[in-house]
Amino acid sequence: MAKDCTKGPGRKRKSIELPVLNDAAGKDGGIRKSRNAGWRAAVLITINLLMIAHIVQWLLMGETVSPIEPSEAMYTIQDGAVNAGFIFFSLAILATLIFGRFVCGWGCHIIALQDLCAWLLKKAGLKPRPFRSRLLVFIPLVVALYMFVWPTVYRTFLAEQKQPLIPEFSNHLITTDFWATFPPVAVAIPFLFICGFVTVYFLGSKGFCTYACPYGGFFAVADKVAPGRIRVTEDCEQCGHCTATCTSNVLVHKEVKEHGMVVDPGCMKCMDCVSVCPNDALYFGFGKPAVSVSEPVAKRYPLSWPEEIAGVAVFFLSFLAVWNVYQLVPMLMALGIASVTTFLVLKVWKLVTVKNQAFYGYSLRSSGKITAVGFVFASAAMLWIGLNVHSGWVRYHESAGTRAYEQVRIPDELALAQPDPRAWLSPDDLANIESGRKDLSRALAISLFTNSEALPKLAWLEYLGGNTDRAIELLERSADAQQGQAKALSLYYRGAILNRTRMFEEALASLDRSLEERPDLILARVERGESLWMLGKKQEAISVWKDAVAKNPRLALASDFLAGAYDSFGNTGESVKYEQLANSYTPSDPYFHWMLGLRLKHVGMDSLADERFEEAVRLNPSFRKLSSP
């Protein structure tokens, strides 16, 4: 036996250095630097600067071209709103059908972030290893079909009211609300960090593109039939420089050897492989497409088929757990989180089932024993996974509470007509209110962030359930977490409930805040008039109601208030005028008449209120059983 192979006490295991390709360029045959890398970096930086300029121009001028973002195409497909995003996405797919998937490599801001992350990791001495899966690569296509095809299928064939296959188109190329379809800045920053950096660290270069980008799902299919590809001449010597330099994880040297071209749809035509080839054997050219290849190059996959299936299940559950949790996490961010979660779950599984495991060259488990680094990795992974599970628990209760909320059938106007609306609730309504309160309260109790959409829903259920004080408190919290129309509505409902409970000064303050957010919220003006009337500011109340009717003559309640107000002053002519106006827009609905009667009774306009009660009884004699206040 050779001396170095002898096993004995105190002997250290010798390491064996394996030959690797030298990253540095040189005359000794090392890989030369890509001449295209700098150009592509400049293009991607320019694109990001143009995006910033686009936002600045909108902030300065108040209107701009609609976002040049592929996701905007959903609104064109669903609603017919033709925007810049739809035009860009359509042209990008058409270009990919001819030239291959170059738009991703040269025109995507997320690619820029991923390449920046890979570059920073390389500077730190870390090279991201690609995570390869047979099944997870199809997730982008599945999500793309869900985003861009499923809405049309549902609208055309499955919806209760069928709609045309192609919607009526309208021009939405210019917008005044550029950020309307984007997440808040506080969400956008972690979104870009997760999708542009975290995915690369765990999944390898362009990891988000491979396992999470729905637009890439369509581009990958289009690339299969594109005649434009990276091709090879007979000068290729299989040195492997092309594969070593590829940031898209393509086995370039194998594919060009077997097929004479690159067929992997992950190739984004960065042209680095062409640039570094020492024999200039690679080039971009036109010829037969990848779809003509019957058998792709064999790849090594670290996962067994049961692990592949488990990975898909984990991805699906993680995605459902985080998508729209707290009404904050957008779909693309959820896809990025789910892809990382899947990797970590499978890595932890390998850590406890495989004797030797490593990550970025650090041993996590050696000869069956988990190392200190392995414990740190497992702890961090379990923290990430635990946050996913927590988000899933919150999301479950948010969804269940929202479903119960949507099943409550009492109209808002009738519910807000008296301090306690429980007399109008059916047994099903009561059951849904109780169920919704429990689920939304549980979600609120364990939430890490405020769900500004769930809070007003819980507040409404609390009000319907008779817990008025709790409803007022929750609506105030909602308003503090909201902006614009959502904030205005929360403050309006808070003011309306305060009016019903005769807290008129506080109601007036809430309604004034509502109108500061949305001066065009006419219902808040009507409620504000009621507050002023009950505070003795009757002329001011009349002025507010008249302004509301001038803006919307169909507001029967405001006209009734004016009729009652003028009647109290003995101005019969004006009273009759507004009563007739109210009648002309009052439907023949006993509930609506009863609601008007309750509102009029609440402000002391008893005579007019009694007329509304009598009309409700005439339309439906069963209302005689109800006692007017």
Per-residue pLDDT band at 29 (split at 50, 70, 90): low
Phi/psi at 49 (5° precision)? -65, -40
Per-residue pLDDT band at 629 (split at 50, 70, 90): low
Q: Which of 32-36, 352-356, 443-447 has the lowest mean pLDDT?
A: 32-36
Angstrom distances, CA of residue 86 to CA of 35, 97, 171, 173, 213: 33, 17, 11, 10, 17
Q: Which of 172-186, 295-309, 570-584 has the lowest mean pLDDT?
A: 295-309
pLDDT at 543: 97
Pairing assessment for the beta strands 357-359 and 362-366 based on DSSP bridges:
antiparallel
The average pLDDT across 202-231 equals 96
* Cα four-point dihedral sign 116, 118, 120, 122: negative
What element of type H or E holds 366?
strand 362-366
The span from the CA of 296 to the CA of 141, in Å, is 19
Angstrom distances, CA of residue 621 to CA of 417, 423, 614: 20, 17, 10
User: Is the pTM here over 0.95, yes or no?
Assistant: no
In the predicted structure, residue 405 carries a pLDDT above the cut 90: yes
3-state secondary structure 368-435: CEECHHHHHHHHHHHHHHHHHHHHHHHHHHHHHHHHHHHHCCCCHHHHCCCCCHHHHCCHHHHHHHHH
| Chain segment 408-428, per-residue pLDDT in tens | 999 999 999 999 999 899 999
The span from the CA of 246 to the CA of 487, in Å, is 49
pLDDT at 23: 47
In the predicted structure, residue 5 carries a pLDDT above the cut 70: no
The average pLDDT across 563-568 equals 96
The average pLDDT across 138-159 equals 93
> Domain locations in the chain?
35-228, 305-393, 553-629
Q: Which of 10-19, 131-140, 265-274, 299-308 has the lowest mean pLDDT?
A: 10-19
Q: What is the dihedral of CA 389, 470, 489, 551, to 10 degrees?
A: 160
Nearest to 288 by CA among 216, 224, 219: 224
Nearest to 577 by CA among 565, 589, 588: 565
Cβ-contact 562, 549 below 8 angstroms: yes
What single letter denotes the amino acid at residue 172?
A: H
289: its two tokens: 């497409």
Per-residue pLDDT band at 22 (split at 50, 70, 90): very low
| Check whether domain 553-629 has CATH 3.30.160, yes or no | no
| Chain segment 258-269, per-residue pLDDT in tens | 999 999 999 999
